[in-house]
Amino acid sequence: MKELVEILAKNLVSRPDEVRVQETEGDTASIIELRVAAEDLGRIIGKQGRTAKSIRTVVNAAASRVNRRVVLEIVEDK
């Protein structure tokens, strides 16, 4: 799932070299943290969160095929 999020994010942002994805796996669920450059945060979230929701939908659809649950967190570095 980590690779899927990374591919999607890198194709959306203007600075793909600054995309960082970290995955923490549990027994039945995974937490994926996505970090991008500050100026690309709006591109990842999208208007009213539509892009972020779409990414979460695609990742959860892929995860459901292997009976897992994925939580995607978009982390804003301060």
Identify the pLDDT of residue 78: 62
Instruction: State which H helix or E strand residue 9 sits in.
Output: helix 2-12
Model pTM? 0.88
Give 10-49 pLDDT, tens digit per residue: 999 999 999 999 999 988 889 999 999 999 999 999 999 9
Per DSSP, the three-state class of 33 is strand
What fold, for 2-75? GMP Synthetase; Chain A, domain 3 (3.30.300)
Q: Is the pLDDT of residue 77 over 80?
A: no
| pLDDT at 65 > cutoff 80 | yes
Tell me how far apart the alpha carbons of residues 24 and 6 are, in angstroms, rounded to a whole number: 15
User: Tokens for 35?
Assistant: 């970090």
